[in-house]
Each structure stands twice: as C-alpha cells, then as structure tokens.
Amino acid sequence: MFKKVIGLVAFAGMAGLASGVGCTVTSVTPSTDAQADTSTTPGDASPSTDRTVPPPGDSGAPGCYIAKDALFLAADTKPPAKALKLCTDAQIDGYWANCIDDKTGSEAKCTAFLGDAANKACLTCIEYDTTAKIPPVILDADAEGGFYVNEAACAFLTINKPECANTYASNLMCYASVCASCTSEAAGSACEAAAEAGACKAYTVSKVCEDALNAGETQWKPVCTVADPNDEKGGYVKVAKFLCGT
C-alpha cells in the first residue's frame, strides 16, 4: 500500500500525459480498492491481452506495450467536485507522511493510517473507493504503487469543464500503465502509438477539452499547481485540499 509518486500531471498537450513512461517504481502493493475497471472499456471491447497489438502503419508494437495492464477510472466514476469537506489538513498531510514519504512513512505506518476508522471518509477522496466513486487525488499509474496527482480534476473544475476531467485522468492512467515497463524513449514513443490505437483509444481527450484547458491556463495554474514542479508534496497537498478539504 506504500506508494511512489511518479510525477505531477504536466498539462503540455496530450503527449505530456504519458510523461511517467520509463520511470522505475520501487514501491509495493497499491490500494486494495482497485481504481481501474478492466472488465469493460466504455465504447470499446474488453482490453486486449495481446502484448503486440500493432499501431496503424507499424509492423508491431514494442514488447513493453502490455494492453492487459491498462488502468483507468471506472465508467461510473462521478464527475469531480471541489471542497467536499471529507479531509482535514492533518489527514491530507498524514497520508503523505505515512504512505508516500519514504523518510517518514513505511508499509506498517501506511497500513495503520489506512485502517484507522477516523480516516475512512477522507480516504474515499484521496484514493479511489468503489462505493463512493469519487475521482481521487491519487491516480494509479501502474501495478506497483506508482501514481500521479489528479491535477486534471482541479484544472477542469476551475475552468468550469468538469465533464472533461475523468477522461483526461483515464488517458493519463492508461498510457502510463500499459507502457510502464518501457525503458527507453524510443520504446516509450512506440508504446504510446500502440496504446493510442489500442488499449487507450477509448480515453482520447476531445479537442474541445484540450482547447479549453490551454485557453484557461492562467485560471487553473495558480489554483492547481505549485511554482516548483519538483515539489511533489506541495502539488499533492494543493490538489487534495482543493478537492477533499473545506
């Protein structure tokens, strides 16, 4: 359950969504509430288990493209909302300290934090909960506990386009998860091409949403991001307070 942040979502066009490809994640078991619903893909067939589904115009996808590993938000996930008043500042900080920070946290501390009944409501907003179905702060990016912070929910709420948020988040999750084992830029690029035509096709972000995000950058950036892109905790706290706090 101890997690490893891969990065903050970089809103630099759709190509930026898979920016975690090639990162090595060393943490262990992810949340017990699965974030992905891999039994069916909205608007498409079940995710393929074929590791070599070729993109159009290519002779074959790289071996690191694993379609069956695709992660995405479940189809019945609710639209995002802000200020849900489910978490205190202490709980938001506590999740980071116990379940993410490798200097202060541990598997045992994280298990205790997640098992504390006092944190139950907050956790339905921080991690994906199959009953609450709230778009979470933590977007799982692979099967090893790697994740991105859900800046998409914050950004699209800020520019009043909440209908775009879950598709954007699923797009990021899908590309990162099916290409998680790629170890070179070339393999990652080939994997992204295969994913675009295959496992992640259903989560293509519309031009309307992309244009709205770019046009509203001066609105959402001060609200949803921190000045230092390497300030992972700061980025997490900012989004968590916006979505789950008061």
Tens of pLDDT, residue by residue over 177-196, are 999 999 999 999 999 999 99
Range of 84's domain? 4-244
Q: Enter the pTM of the model.
A: 0.78
For the segment 86-113, the average pLDDT, to the nearest whole number, is 96
DSSP of 126-193, one letter per residue? HS--TTT-PPPSEEE-STTSEEEE-HHHHHHHHTT-GGGHHHHHHHHHHHHHHTTT--SHHHHHHHHH
Among the listed residues 113, 169, 163, the one whose alpha carbon sits nearest the alpha carbon of residue 138: 169
Kindly state the DSSP code that residue 4 receives in the 8-state scheme: E
Per-residue pLDDT band for 229 (boundaries 50, 70, 90) equals: confident
Taking a C-beta distance cutoff of 8 angstroms, is the pair 236, 9 a contact?
no
Supply 191's token pair.
């994997």
SS3 96: helix
Per-residue pLDDT band for 45 (boundaries 50, 70, 90) equals: very low
Per-residue pLDDT band for 145 (boundaries 50, 70, 90) equals: confident
Buried b (16+ CB within 10 A) or exposed e, 107-123: eebbeebbeeeebebbb
Helix (H), strand (E) at residue 7: strand 4-8
Write down the residue that tokens 């090639």 correspond to: 22
Per-residue pLDDT band for 49 (boundaries 50, 70, 90) equals: very low
For residues 207 and 49, what is the distance between their CA atoms, to the nearest angstrom?
29
Taking a C-beta distance cutoff of 8 angstroms, is the pair 141, 176 a contact?
yes
The count of domains in the chain is 1
